[in-house]
Each structure stands twice: as structure tokens, then as C-alpha cells.
Amino acid sequence: MSAASALQKAIFLRLSADATLAALLGAKGIVDSRPNGPVEPLLVLAAIDSRDHSTATEEGEDHRVTLEIWSGAAGQRQAQAIAAAARAALHDATLPLAGHHLVFLLHRETRIRRDARSRFHRADMHFHAVTEPLAS
């Protein structure tokens, strides 16, 4: 399994197991692609951009993780609450990755705004992670 796939799976499992997020999003509120329908609120594992982060002696990958939060509620309060719970669940978390070691996972930025093409509020959350392969 690639480091990005292992990271995505570990993030999904952590978010899905979080009681606060479950209360805010419901049973089907965490997905890896936004459905074509009126499902909200929603937390989408939108993207993981990876690049080589190896040194002369160690292999590694640098990952930029993007989560999207969609809320149809009036105002930003619901999107802010979901973003705060996601940050609490993931920032500086120790996550087990299949075949890889997570060096760190840190929250970098959250931007909340009303989406121009819909009635929804949207929060874009950005995390930074570094992984290394497990020694064979």
C-alpha cells in the first residue's frame, strides 16, 4: 500500500471513530468524494498531494492533506464546529499506517467561506504530514 493510501485510510478511520464528529455529521458524513445530492453536513477527504521527501540515507514522503467541510446551516457555526473537531482529532495525532511510519501530521490552515456556486458554507482544512517506510 502506498504511503498516501495508508495515510488516507488512517485519517478516515480516526475521523470515523471520533464521537464528536459522529454527533455533528451522522453515520455517513465522512466520505472521500462529494456525492451528487443534498447530503449535508459532510466532511470530504478531498485530496492528498504527495512528493518525495527522501534524504541521502532515509526514504520519505511529504503529504499535503485537504479536507472539505460542507454545511447548509445558516451561518458558519456548524462548519466551524466540524472543523474544530476534525482538527482536534488529527492535529499531532499518532496514527498507525500500514507499511509506513507517520513522522508527523499537523494542521496548517482552515478557511471558511460561503461557496459561490451553492448555498453551502465550505471549510477547507489543510494538514501537513511526513511518512517513512517501515524498515524491512
99: Cβ–Cβ under 8 A, 6 or more apart, which residues? 1, 3, 6, 133, 134
| Residue among 57, 54, 60, 50 nearest 133 (CA) | 60
First to last CA, the chain: 14
Task: Say which residue the cell 451528487 belongs to.
Answer: 36
| Residue among 43, 115, 47 nearest 84 (CA) | 43
The pLDDT value recorded for residue 136 is 64
10-residue block means of pLDDT along the chain (136 residues)? 96 97 92 76 96 88 97 92 98 97 97 88 96 88
Give burial (CB, 10 Å; 0-12/13-18/19+) of 106.
Answer: middle
The pLDDT value recorded for residue 37 is 66
pTM: 0.93
The pLDDT value recorded for residue 117 is 83
Alpha helices, DSSP H, located in the chain:
3-17, 19-25, 77-90
| CA distances, 92 to each of 28, 42, 67, 86, 106 (Å) | 25, 23, 16, 12, 5
